[in-house]
A and B are shown apart, each in its own frame.
Chain A
Amino acid sequence: MNEGDPRKLLIDLILIGERQQAMTLLCRSAEAFGWRQTIFTLLEPALEDIGRRWEAEHISLAAGYLAGKIAEEVLLRAAEQEESLPEVKGPIILGNTEDDYHSLGRKLVAIFLRTGGWKVIDLGNDVLAEDFVEAAERHEAKIIGVSAMMLSTAENIAKIRNLLEKRGLSADIKLAVGGAVFKLRPELVAEVGGDGTAANAVDAPGLMARLLGEEARP
């Protein structure tokens, strides 16, 4: 354990599955420095590190899930203390594609996007292309994020791309895609008309920033 460095300690605690101790560490930091500071200097850097390990497939889905739970709880507590993060970026329209009901990936993406300061409008499971595009227009969103776990449902994403094309929106609205099948078949991103993907939820904020040509928050 890295007793001295709270950031390293937080990472270690998450990686061994110690939710309670990880929360205690974060709460102690919040008492001293406030939630906002804790999020920027402790939680986010730890999550970035976890994202890198996740991408290299060195950590488990359970560890990623735990990190998501912790991030969610921190956001909630910060909000209770009226220290919630201003949702400065976005909005992003998020949902599972038509016929897809595998919500966990999407929910994790939403949590980490919110932790990264993005406003997320989550449309849920089995969202039709029409509904994605209409929501994006209504909320003036510049990104639609779509999750799909299986090849057959991932192929439905092409309908969103076609609709964006048909309405002349492809230049204004980026299409972020993700889910288990994209990790197995990276070429699928281009095939369904995606503008980019991220291998895990922690990397999603970075992807969105890149899609908009923005820097991620330092």
Chain B
Amino acid sequence: MTSMERVLAALSGTPQPRPPFTLALSLYGARLSGCPLSRYFRDAESYGAGQQAVYDSFAPDILFSPFALPLEAEAFGSEVIFLPDYAPNVRKPAVRSAEAFLDLDMPDVDNHPSLLYLRQAIASTAARVHGEVPVCGILTAAVDLPAIVMGIDQWLETLLFDGDRAAAILTRCIDHFAALANAMLHDGAAFIAVPAMFTNPRLVFRRMIDDLILPAMARSFALVRGPIVFHHGGNPMVPFLEDYLDLPGVVGYAVDHRDPLGKARHLLGPEKLLLGNINGPALARLSPQRALAKVDDILHDRQDDYRFIFLNAGADIPLDTPPELLQAISRKITSYTGGM
């Protein structure tokens, strides 16, 4: 069975001995291929080579596009800093007001080098695994993008005190989101994943979410010509999961490590994919025994759940995580047969 078949089986809920599994190893490919991050996050072929190394080392069932949301902000004019040991960050937002945002030219997904890099990295990765392993394209939610184009404080300010401009900005971001998502799907992504932060009541007022944020998310998702995974973005999601169930095009939900998987499944119903949930960024802090015991617990907890995909929660697996631990996790899951 190829990884693609395994993931498709999960999508249709077909029983299989073990769930598909993957880890957020976008960053980690650079360690495996010995590539400096300033090249890895600029040169699509280097990125593809890193993902090839991820596949060769751990055989995950899904590979990822560069998890580097700031590159989208860069396409709008933000200044980006390349860190020696982490994904790039925004150093300086492109603009500092809602008015200035609305004066910006929209970046062209067919021309801007940062966006072409993201697209070509997908194409390179997909070509290397010959369509046998699905590649997931990661992009910034339309409602989050302003936070890295104008600064999170200015985006909050606009959402709170200038509803009209916030709506106008969202319309721009929705256009960008749809263009990039569809380009990623065209270039070889089997589906896209969207970490979402400003959808969460831990960030903004509930009424803002209901009146502005969720309608914008729905509009953006409706324009995407492929399946979507909605990702928790670093916040617990189960308390609010019901609010996101009607978003169009979403086939699966990736929850936080603090979210109980059983409860998540209950809220999702039987039809949607559930992805989760060991804490990726903190993996290296656990002893290997504890990490593997957690993996075991998750596998047993989900053993009859044929629409479950094992994925770490949170951001990328940090570079200092030992490869032996990731190999052990991979072995544990790939040798599991409790599902049938």
Contacts and interface: CB of A to CB of B under 8 A. Distances in A.
Interface stretch (A2-10, A26-34, A55-63, A130-138): A55-63
B267 interface: no
A99 B85 CA distance: 12
Interface residues of A, number: 25
Given A61-B204, A66-B160, A151-B318, A184 B90 contact: no
Interface string A53-74: 0000100111101100000000
B202 A103 contact: no
Given A16-B207, A103-B151, A184-B282, 19 more contacts: A60-B201, A60-B203, A62-B159, A62-B160, A62-B208, A65-B156, A65-B160, A99-B89, A101-B90, A104-B153, A150-B89, A151-B86, A153-B83, A153-B86, A180-B234, A184-B281, A184-B314, A185-B281, A187-B285
B91 A17 contact: no
Contacts, number: 68
Contacts of B91: 101, 126
A71 B16 CA distance: 57
B295 to A, nearest CB: 20
Contacts of B83: 99, 152-153
A87 to B, nearest CB: 24
Interface in B207-233: 207-208
B81 interface: yes
A23 B271 CA distance: 49
B153 A65 contact: yes
Interface of B: 81, 83, 85-86, 89-92, 151-153, 156, 159-161, 201-205, 207-208, 234, 281-282, 285, 314, 318
B3 to A, nearest CB: 29
B73 to A, nearest CB: 12
A60 B199 CA distance: 11
- What 7 A-B pairs have minimum CB-CB distances, sorted nearest first? A152-B86, A62-B204, A104-B153, A61-B203, A17-B205, A65-B156, A152-B85
B202 A19 contact: no
Interface in A80-119: 99, 101-104, 107
Prevailing SS type, chain A contact patch? helix
A83 to B, nearest CB: 26
Interface of A: 16-17, 19, 57, 60-63, 65-66, 99, 101-104, 107, 126, 150-153, 180, 184-185, 187
A185 B285 contact: yes
B86 A150 contact: yes
Contacts of A152: 83, 85-86, 318
B95 to A, nearest CB: 15
28 contacts: A16-B205, A17-B160, A19-B160, A19-B161, A60-B202, A60-B204, A60-B205, A61-B202, A62-B156, A62-B204, A62-B205, A62-B208, A65-B156, A66-B160, A99-B81, A101-B89, A101-B90, A102-B152, A104-B151, A104-B152, A107-B153, A150-B86, A151-B318, A153-B86, A180-B234, A184-B234, A185-B281, A185-B282
B27 to A, nearest CB: 10
Contacts of B207: 16-17
B84 to A, nearest CB: 8
Contacts of B161: 19
Contacts of A150: 86, 89
A187 B85 CA distance: 20
A62 to B, nearest CB: 4
